Amino acid sequence: MQARAGTPSPAGATTTAHAMKQHQQQQATTTTLFALLSLALLLLRLLLRLRLAAFRDAFLSLHLLARLRIRPIHLRLPGPHPTTLRVWCPSAPSSKPPLLLLHGFGGDAKWTWARNLAPLSRDFHVYAPDLCFFGSASLSLSPLRSVAFQARCAADAMRLLGVPRYDVVGISYGGFVAYRLAAVEARGSVGRVVVMTTGVAATVEEMGEMAAREERAVEDALLPDTADGLRRLVRRSMHRPPPWMPDFVLHDFIQLMFVDQRKERTELLQELLKNGAGIDPLPVLPQKTLVLWGDKDQVFPIDLGYRLHRHLGGESRLEIIKDAGHALQLEGAEKVNRFIRSFLIDEPNGLEFGVARNQRPPNGAKYT
């Protein structure tokens, strides 16, 4: 039987649909190629101008997009004040367990997790947001500067992304946010928690004393605006800082990382010193928790790691990494990645909790 005039045959319709699909795929491929080409040209331009920090930033973006297939998305969060959060996450769905990574004050998600995203993305579906007021893309008109506000933004972002259950890793300031997230804002959604070199167990008085020992305003220490200030911060944060830190590189990094939303981040620091995680008394987390610390941390003393471990009791495990400072995820990246994977995947039911590993008792134990 012949098809009536003006009515496409089934074979013709199938051919048309296939052609349209091919056209859409070609358009997507072309768009991606243009994006990668633009980034490549930007890299070349920055390199020729000796803007090494900006070059590194563009290279990290290119690496995430082209190699790891991790892309940035911008989420408009619910609430009375317009708030946008940028989240780096895989471009395609997977069956890997979801993992939320929360950075500290030293940089945004790309820079903080530069040595962790590739290894962790092999086993996890990673989500790495730029916390609110960090970088130029995570913005809010909210007057709130509390850890609770940051935790609520992270919880809202994961809900918008359709992730009902996930584990969380937080370092330094991100550790405060991770703790609050697991205790209050996403208590029923967070499975396990990893906190790294975070002063969440310190009292408000102790936080004030640590800030006073800086002998300068805390925002000048943690949000430097001079090459000498950034050099001091790097040496304070790392046990093995880079031997070569010329002024032009440091100035470039300051422009990249510490200029946008400086006022808002100063207010975040002031709120942190005043109220900490905003929970008094600090609750014991219901989730199993891994505490990671560098034995050479000069920002949050190692005693705070032991205190947090004792506070969490039988649901926690403490691991201390030798010859690593506050920037533990960089200096001890290989061990950090291994501990996270082991804690969350390899032995989820077999880890020995309620113990502190790699301590330094009187008879002298070895560190990892």
Contact predicate 157/168, CB 8 Å: no
Which pTM value belongs to this model? 0.84
Q: Is pLDDT at 283 greater than 50 in this prediction? A: yes
Q: Is pLDDT at 18 greater than 80 in this prediction? A: no
- Which residue, chain included where needed, has tokens 């134990």? 365
Q: What is the pLDDT of residue 173?
A: 97
Contact predicate 329/119, CB 8 Å: no
343: CB partners within 8 A, 6+ apart: 192, 194, 290, 317, 351
Q: Is pLDDT at 359 greater than 80 in this prediction? A: no
Overall average pLDDT of the 205-224 stretch: 85
Q: Which of 239, 207, 334, 352 is nearest to 290 (CA)?
A: 352
Q: Is pLDDT at 30 greater than 90 in this prediction? A: no
56: CB partners within 8 A, 6+ apart: none
Residue 85 or 14, more confident: 85
Q: pLDDT digit string (tens) for 132-176?
A: 999 889 999 999 999 999 999 999 999 999 999 999 999 999 999
Look up residue 257 and give its amino acid: M
CA distances from 65 to 25, 44, 255 (A): 17, 17, 24
Domains of the chain: residue spans and CATH: 61-214+256-357 (3.40.50.1820)
Instruction: State the Cα–Cα distance between residues 148 and 183, nearest whole angstrom.
Output: 10
3-state SS assignment for residue 70? strand
Mean pLDDT of the residues in the chain:
86
Q: Which two tokens stand for residue 320?
A: 């201390």
Q: pLDDT digit string (tens) for 39-88?
A: 666 666 655 455 778 888 988 999 999 999 999 999 999 999 999 999 99
Question: Is the omega angle on the peptide bond into residue 98 within 30 degrees of 0, that is, cis?
Answer: no
Q: Which of 79, 69, 202 is nearest to 143 (CA)?
A: 79
Most confidently modeled range among 1-10, 55-64, 223-232: 223-232
